Amino acid sequence: MGEAIGQTLPLAVGVALSPVPIIAVVLMLTTPRARVNGPAFVLGWLLGLGVVGALVLALAGPSAEEDTGGPATWVSWLKLLLGVLLLAVAARQFRGRPRAGEQAPMPGWMSAVDQFGAGKSLGMAALLSGVNPKNLLLAVAGAATIAQTGIPGGQQALAYAVFAVIGSLGVAVPVVIYLALGKRSEDLLTRLKNWMSAHNAVIMSVLCLVIGAKLIGDAITALW
């Protein structure tokens, strides 16, 4: 199981460093419902990752390891495809980065964050973690990598749970800071939001480039 956790650690960090969700949760922490919506957002994030992981692990099952004891070829091809898609996401993010002096565009729904309740916060987080292209690719890659190790099903589930927890740190840490410091966290969280907003495209492009290259390299090693 240690091997599975170690191999998926970079992917989990890539999920955690998601600027738009971090900005969203920080904005939620400035609203009157912060103490409810913040934890609901984290729970929804975990839920989205959990659904993706459960589906991939259920579909992979024992077939992720061939009779010879080696990794199944289809998993390596899947990782190769996911790596290529992540490189495409990296290129798109880099081309769409704001020029000097331009304001980085944010999704329109962020302007309505102050109207969110717990249910909407949870649902939005689940979509951002489980449906957002970059996070979906990383979550699928993480679950496929775990399945490819051939460890028993219970250990696979535990390894993916560790992956999901690490992948949730990006949205969970601001909530913990807010709950611990209250109003004293406002300046720190505002600076975090502003920095993430200004460097969103660069962070995303670098993460997708590095992780995409890693997946392609792992796939090539396994296939040849």
- Backbone φ, ψ for residue 65 (5° rounding): -130, 125
Task: Tell me how far CA of residue 146 lies from CA of 65, 125, 152, 166, in angstroms.
Answer: 11, 24, 10, 15
Q: Tell me the pLDDT of the chain (224 aa) as tens digits.
A: 888 899 899 999 999 998 999 999 999 998 889 999 999 999 999 999 999 999 999 887 655 555 555 556 888 888 899 999 999 999 988 887 777 666 666 777 888 888 899 999 999 999 999 998 889 999 999 999 898 888 888 999 999 999 999 999 999 999 999 999 988 898 999 999 888 888 888 888 999 999 999 999 988 988 88
Residue 101 backbone zone (phi > 0: left; psi -120 to 50: alpha; other: beta): left
Residue-range domain boundaries for the chain: 2-223
Q: What is the C-alpha separation between 72 and 87, in angstroms, rounded?
A: 23
pLDDT of residue 100: 64
Burial class (CB in 10 A: 0-12, 13-18, 19+), 30: middle
* Structure tokens that stand for 20 in this block: 């738009």
Position 160 scores a pLDDT of: 96
3-class DSSP state of 37: helix
